[in-house]
Chain A
Amino acid sequence: GAGVSQSPRYKVAKRGQDVALRCDPISGHVSLFWYQQALGQGPEFLTYFQNEAQLDKSGLPSDRFFAERPEGSVSTLKIQRTQQEDSAVYLCASSPRTENYGYTFGSGTRLTVV
């Protein structure tokens, strides 16, 4: 596609519910990041994929968060047993290269846990 696509655009979840957020990176992009952005804050790193390999998951806040990219293209961020503090915008970004290069962000998924 022309850009990074994320779905759903908005998600309201009841506390304790599991959610899955999808990211379709730009076709052929090797690198993929997930970020979490709370209101008034900068994006906080969650995890990084190079093709299908998850090379850095040091930013995932707890074992309730899980990300995968099984075929090196589409990625899913799953949050189990959602809590109110999980409410944020979840941003996905991709890049055609593995080394230092600017990343293109998707529009994000705004998650609200009630």
Chain B
Amino acid sequence: RKEVEQDPGPFNVPEGATVAFNCTYSNSASQSFFWYRQDCRKEPKLLMSVYSSGNEDGRFTAQLNRASQYISLLIRDSKLSDSATYLCAPWVVGAGSYQLTFGKGTKLSVIP
């Protein structure tokens, strides 16, 4: 099983729709979690951090379920500018290990 798994999509949604992505992780020692967005041929940009059960920032809500080892990202009232690839990244610190491990990303296309 891969360390971080995401549905690659693409998710094609109309403007104004609500869309949710899930991300599962295998390392139960993961301490915190991040969602990044990456536009085509650009670097990842931090979208949200999740340290406990969840976090909300405007139209974006991230939820963490430690028991089931998954994180979700909900986007409400989708905008054309939300079109991007969304990367999930658990942060793990262990003996000799300091890693922010990324999934392959979920591609979102918001269509007019």
Is B44 on the interface with A (CB-CB < 8 A)? yes
Is B58 on the interface with A (CB-CB < 8 A)? no
Known A55-B96, A56-B96, A58-B97: A102·B105 in contact at CB below 8 Å: no
Say which size band chain A's interface belongs to.
20 to 34
B46 touches A100 (CB 8 A): no
B91 touches A100 (CB 8 A): yes
Say which size band chain B's interface belongs to.
20 to 34
Is A1 on the interface with B (CB-CB < 8 A)? no
Q: Which of A35, A40, A48, A102 has the most CB of B within 10 A?
A: A102
Is B87 on the interface with A (CB-CB < 8 A)? yes
The CA-CA distance from A3 to B51 in the complex, in Å, is: 25
The CA-CA distance from A50 to B104 in the complex, in Å, is: 26
Consensus secondary structure, chain B interface: strand
The CA-CA distance from A42 to B7 in the complex, in Å, is: 12
A102 touches B46 (CB 8 A): yes
Is B25 on the interface with A (CB-CB < 8 A)? no
Q: Which of B44, B99, B105 has the most CB of A within 10 A?
A: B44
Is B57 on the interface with A (CB-CB < 8 A)? no
Given A45-B101, A55-B96, A91-B43, 14 other A-B residues pairs in contact with their CB atoms under 8 A: A42-B87, A42-B103, A43-B44, A58-B96, A58-B97, A58-B99, A91-B44, A100-B91, A102-B46, A103-B46, A103-B100, A104-B46, A106-B43, A107-B42
Chain A contacts to B: CB under 8 angstroms: 31, 33, 35, 40-45, 48, 50, 55-56, 58-59, 91, 93, 99-108
